């Protein structure tokens, strides 16, 4: 009997209403006020609203970041809801027509491109992404008719999975229409507010020459983004978001400006020549001034912060930061603790983030003491020759924000953690080297010795970890293969279904062994499910033929694929309708800008409740790759350029979801999946130190602090070895060093069925997955089952490896459901 847990009531449930309220709160906490001359909060109720994102607000990204929510509030709607009068409806109506015409031209072009194709995958990889139109001219007549002194202009961009952005007009750079409109409005309105609606970064060179009264970073606000923005623009709430990634003056100032994605000349090799110097680490260390630094953000009030105390004990440093609201309105302050570690023979960043925290809302004149804590491990440098994380001897300068406040000293070098070398580079990596540091005055700083607080050196056991289960111990080789290859999304034998989810575990072992399937749903902006599902009298299920479902198919499927999918949809009157309206949360980048771990845990808790309501076991989130370059198509899915922020916030949202028994997350994409170009074939090439200090560190924090149910291995290679086949990553690092005991799955279609039909450059090898302890192959295809069976017969696949992986999958299923005895 198939189980559909989603409600049959068409009314918004208490769960859905609660999600809306929390999404609104979360978005408002993350918006960043970049500039303000006093125009904000808005005083005038009549507003001239323009720009591509005003009415066609981008609430989230495409691909895995998409969500089919019940409704989304645009920026225009949010302002109207807050009592503002929008006086430029004529311009917005013209833009609607322009948008519709642009999309229709795009649709016809894609239909022509896929004409005659009968393969879903061929069509999916042939269709080009729709580029959000940038705008139409604003005229003198528009300004006159607006009858307002205040204009708001919304710059918008959309990107998504499978496609990186480009350093061109209309994408990273403004096009001519946008620049002309900004120039025109800047000179025609006394108050001019610019909103950046982009899950990434845009060129802001217009700020150097134009009068802009206020600049707000909206990012992608989720379903309540419009209301949340109105909350902060009106002053109902204060801005408290801070940038989680730096914003360069020029694209050329970014160290990977000539090597990233298509710019490097070799799309199959991404060279990480900047090493550890990513984001603020680069700007600080090389003396390049960013337009807006990491951690930057304005408020409607002012704060004063100072160090009230510090101590080092048992391998940790704890400082007490005293914060006072010295302004005239209530607000929250974010605190950042940085440390400058000794430069040593191999260099180090000028300073690194070691802790962050956020105060409660403080009334004018109110003070609070906030503790910030970090471990000695956060001060360590990876020494490749010793294969160890070490504390260098010398002076460690502690900063609270930009101000040095304490001097920590260590007499002798200390090995904190003894590792083994992993992921050797295939060729020498020529990394940039920072100039010598300028001396920092330490006079008057509080002094702390680290020598007496040192922990014992940590050593690891590199024995290959095993897993077993009485049921899998008795399974045949064919049954083991069935369990270690996913069940896809269209298998008619599903016992549990949440239509629209990305995949399931295999359902074919239920009749013989009592092993049901479980559901894996995409993220990370919310559960990506079909909004309405029709359960037919014979028990079959189809997507309901309703506008929101049709719109999803219209946007993403063309030709044969679109016709086939639409033909499988049912009229709601044909059966019982189940409603799967999930909350579209603010994107991960916006959540990160809140720097509020408690808030992200609250969001995770709310998603866990939705997983229970819809029957989802694993949410394929959080995405936590480093924001290495602003052209990454999935920047909005990731948290930050800093691994500490990525790890801490990912751990928070995992803890929230996993409060719900049997519900889990899949931290992804492990590891160094920082580019979408040829992601199934490209190699991320870097030194081991760079890999460990930057690209693995966030995952390490998340695994150790939240114990996620699963980890997703990435598409790409690291130094020439696919992540799905990479024993160094999946065993030595993830399991031996970090102690991960859960299940590892592949990213979707990241492995070819055999070596006979492709070269080693095309994808991971399904026959090597279990040996590397990548347990579950997703989403699962018949040719992969056949390849594993052939591998078992030839000896290329070992039954012991399959048994271990099957046991981990079974452990995950057991957490969610009771297995029936057969």
Mean pLDDT to the nearest integer, 599-628 = 97
756 pLDDT higher than 60: no
Nearest CA to 16 out of 494, 423, 585 is that of: 585
Collapsing DSSP states into helix, strand and coil, what is residue 581?
Answer: coil
Say what the pLDDT of residue 755 is. Answer: 47
Q: Judge whether 746 and 774 are in contact, CB under 8 Å.
A: yes
What's phi and psi for 810, nearest 5 deg? -65, -40
Whether residue 762 has pLDDT greater than 80: no
Please give the DSSP secondary-structure letter assigned to residue 122. Answer: H
Where is mean pLDDT largest: 102-116, 238-252, 477-491, 496-510?
238-252
Distance CA 455, CA 437 (A): 29
End-to-end CA distance of the chain: give it in Å, rounded.
16
Those residues whose C-beta lies under 8 Å from the C-beta of residue 794, and which sit 6 or more positions away, are: none
Question: How does residue 62 score in pLDDT terms, banded at 50, 70 and 90?
Answer: confident
Mean pLDDT of 562-585: 94
Query: Tens digit of pLDDT for each residue in 333-353?
Result: 999 999 999 999 999 999 999
pTM above 0.75, yes or no: yes
C-alpha to C-alpha distance for 594 and 616, rounded to whole angstroms: 27
Q: What is the pLDDT of residues 682-697, one digit of tens each?
A: 999 999 999 999 999 9
**Cα 86 to Cα 147, 188, 272, 369, 560, distances in angstroms:** 10, 17, 47, 43, 43
Q: For 306-317, what is each residue's pLDDT tens digit?
A: 999 999 999 999
Q: Tell me the sheet residues that pair with 32.
A: 217
What integer pLDDT is reported at residue 489 of this predicted model? Answer: 61
CA–CA distance, 572 with 535 (Å, rounded to integer): 9
Query: Does residue 683 contact residue 648 with C-beta atoms inside 8 Å?
Result: no
Whole-angstrom Cα distance, residue 46 to residue 36? 19
Residue 641 token pair: 């350029």
| pLDDT computed for residue 124 by the predictor | 79
pLDDT in tens, 254-301: 999 999 999 998 999 999 999 999 999 999 999 999 999 999 999 999
The pLDDT value recorded for residue 66 is: 85
Confidence of residue 523 (pLDDT cuts 50, 70, 90): confident
The pLDDT assigned to 761 comes to 47
> Which stretch of 216-225, 337-346, 491-500, 516-525 has the lowest confidence by average pLDDT?
491-500
Which residue has tokens 């949360």? Answer: 585
Span 147-158, average pLDDT: 97
pLDDT the model gives residue 758: 37
Can you name the residues that pair with 521 across neighbouring β-strands? 619
370-399 per-residue burial string, b: 16 or more CB within 10 A, e: under 16: bebebebbbbbbbbeeeebbbbbeebbbbb
Mean pLDDT along residues 486-494: 76
Closest CA to 255 of 624, 686, 628, 626: 628
Q: Please say if the pLDDT value at position 369 is more than 70.
A: yes
- 60, pLDDT greater than 80: yes
Yes or no: say if 431 and 413 are a contact pair by the CB < 8 Å rule. Answer: no
Q: How far is CA 751 from the centre of its chain?
A: 23
Strand order in the sheet with 721-722: 269-271, 683-685, 717-718, 721-722
The whole-number pLDDT of residue 221 equals 97
**Burial state string for 751-762 with b = 16 or more CB within 10 A and e = fewer than 16:** bbbbeeeeeeee
Q: 393-418: per-residue pLDDT in tens?
A: 999 999 999 999 999 999 999 999 99
Cβ atoms of 750 and 724 closer than 8 Å:
yes
Of 176-185, 415-424, 533-542, 758-767, the range with the lowest mean pLDDT is 758-767
CA dihedral sign, ordered 251, 257, 258, 264:
negative
Is residue 549's pLDDT more than 80? Answer: yes
In whole angstroms, give the CA distance from residue 127 to residue 97: 23
Pairing mode, if any, of strands 46-50 and 150-156? parallel
Per-residue model confidence (pLDDT) at position 754 = 58
Query: CA-CA distance, 759 to 756, in Å (whole number)?
Result: 8
Helix (H, G, I), strand (E, B) or coil at 193: strand
What's the mean per-residue pLDDT of the chain? 94
Confidence at residue 119, expressed as pLDDT on a 0 to 100 scale:
85
Phi and psi torsions of 519, nearest 5°: -100, 135
- pLDDT for residue 607: 98
pLDDT band at 562 (very low <50, low <70, confident <90, very high): confident
Say if residue 622's pLDDT is above 70: yes
Residues contacting residue 43 through CB under 8 Å, at least 6 positions apart: none
% residues pLDDT > 90 (the chain): 86
Beta strands in 513-626 (DSSP E): 519-522, 532-535, 541-543, 576-579, 618-620
Residue 403 bridge partners (DSSP) = 400
Q: Is there a contact between 385 and 414 (Cβ–Cβ < 8 Å)?
A: no
pLDDT of 237 > 50? The answer is yes
* Residue 374, strand partner residues: 317
State percent of the chain over pLDDT 70. 98
């Amino acid at each position: 009997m198939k189980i559909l847990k989603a409600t049959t009531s068409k009314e918004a449930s208490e769960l859905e209403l609660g999600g809306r309220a929390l999404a609104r709160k979360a978005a408002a906490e993350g918006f960043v006020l970049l500039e303000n001359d006093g125009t904000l909060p808005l005083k005038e109720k009549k507003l001239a609203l323009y720009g591509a994102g005003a009415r066609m607000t981008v609430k989230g990204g495409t691909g895995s970041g998409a969500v089919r929510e019940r409704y989304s509030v645009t920026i225009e709607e949010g302002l109207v809801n807050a009592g503002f009068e929008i006086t430029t409806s004529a311009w917005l109506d013209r833009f609607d027509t322009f948008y519709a015409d642009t999309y229709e031209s795009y649709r016809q072009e894609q239909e022509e491109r896929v004409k005659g194709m009968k393969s879903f995958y061929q069509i999916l990889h042939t269709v080009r992404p729709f580029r959000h139109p940038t705008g139409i001219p604003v005229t003198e007549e528009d300004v006159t008719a607006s009858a307002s002194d205040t204009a708001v202009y919304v710059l918008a961009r959309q990107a998504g999975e499978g496609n990186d952005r480009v350093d061109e007009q209309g994408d990273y750079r403004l096009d001519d229409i946008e620049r002309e409109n900004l120039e025109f409005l800047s000179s025609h309105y006394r108050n001019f507010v610019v909103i950046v609606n982009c899950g990434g970064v845009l060129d802001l060179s217009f700020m150097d020459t134009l009068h802009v009264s206020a600049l707000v970073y909206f990012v992608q606000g989720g379903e309540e983004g419009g209301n949340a923005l109105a909350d902060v623009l009106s002053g109902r709430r204060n801005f408290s978001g801070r940038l989680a990634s730096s914003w360069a003056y020029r694209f050329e100032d970014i160290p990977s400006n000539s090597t990233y994605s298509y710019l490097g000349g070799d799309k199959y090799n991404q060279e990480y020549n900047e090493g550890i110097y990513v984001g603020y680490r680069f700007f600080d260390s090389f003396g390049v001034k960013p337009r807006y630094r990491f951690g930057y953000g304005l408020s409607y009030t002012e704060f004063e912060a100072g160090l009230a105390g510090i101590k080092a004990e048992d391998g940790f440093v704890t400082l007490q930061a005293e914060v006072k609201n010295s302004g005239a309105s209530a607000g929250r302050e974010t605190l950042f603790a940085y440390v400058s570690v000794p430069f040593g023979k191999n260099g180090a960043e000028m300073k690194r983030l070691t802790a962050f925290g956020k105060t409660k809302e403080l009334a004018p004149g109110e003070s609070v003491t906030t503790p910030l804590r970090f471990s000695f491990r956060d001060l360590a440098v990876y020494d490749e020759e010793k294969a160890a994380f070490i504390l260098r001897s010398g002076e460690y300068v502690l900063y609270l924000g930009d101000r040095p406040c304490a001097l920590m000293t260590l007499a002798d070098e200390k090995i904190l953690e003894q590792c083994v070398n992993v992921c050797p580079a295939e060729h020498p990596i020529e990394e940039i080297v920072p100039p010598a540091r300028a001396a920092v005055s330490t006079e008057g700083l509080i002094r702390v010795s680290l020598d007496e607080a040192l922990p014992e050196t940590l050593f690891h056991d590199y024995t290959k970890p095993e897993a077993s289960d009485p049921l899998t111990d008795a399974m045949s080789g064919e049954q083991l293969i069935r369990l270690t290859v996913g069940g896809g999304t269209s298998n008619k034998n599903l016992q549990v279904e949440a239509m629209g989810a990305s995949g399931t575990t295999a359902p074919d072992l239920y009749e013989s062994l009592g092993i049901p399937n479980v559901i894996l749903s995409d993220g990370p902006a919310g559960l990506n499910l079909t909004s309405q599902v029709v359960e037919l009298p014979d028990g079959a299920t189809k997507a309901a033929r309703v506008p929101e479902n049709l719109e999803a198919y219209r946007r993403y499927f063309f030709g044969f694929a679109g016709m086939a999918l639409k033909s499988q949809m049912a009229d709601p009157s044909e059966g019982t309708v189940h409603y799967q309206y999930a909350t579209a949360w603010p994107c991960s980048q916006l959540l990160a800008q809140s720097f509020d771990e408690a808030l992200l845990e609250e969001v995770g808790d709310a998603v866990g409740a939705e997983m229970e309501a819809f029957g989802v076991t694993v949410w394929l989130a959080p995405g936590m790759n480093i924001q290495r370059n602003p052209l990454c198509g999935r920047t909005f899915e990731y948290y930050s350029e800093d691994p500490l922020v990525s790890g801490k916030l990912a751990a928070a949202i995992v803890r929230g979801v996993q409060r719900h028994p049997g519900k889990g997350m899949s931290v992804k994409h492990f590891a160094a999946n920082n580019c979408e170009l040829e992601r199934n074939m490209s190699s991320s090439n870097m030194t081991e130190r760079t890999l460990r200090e930057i690209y693995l560190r966030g995952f390490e924090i998340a695994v150790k602090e939240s114990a996620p149910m699963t980890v997703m291995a990435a598409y790409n290679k690291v130094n020439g070895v696919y992540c799905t086949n990479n024993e160094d990553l999946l065993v030595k690092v993830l399991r031996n060093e970090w102690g991960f005991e859960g299940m590892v799955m592949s990213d979707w279609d990241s492995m070819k069925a055999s070596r006979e039909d492709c070269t080693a450059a095309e994808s991971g090898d399904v026959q090597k997955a279990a040996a590397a302890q990548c347990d579950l192959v997703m989403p699962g295809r018949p040719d992969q089952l056949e390849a594993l069976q052939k591998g078992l017969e030839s000896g290329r696949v070992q039954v012991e490896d399959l048994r271990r992986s099957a046991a981990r999958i079974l452990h995950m299923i057991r957490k969610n459901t009771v297995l029936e005895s057969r």
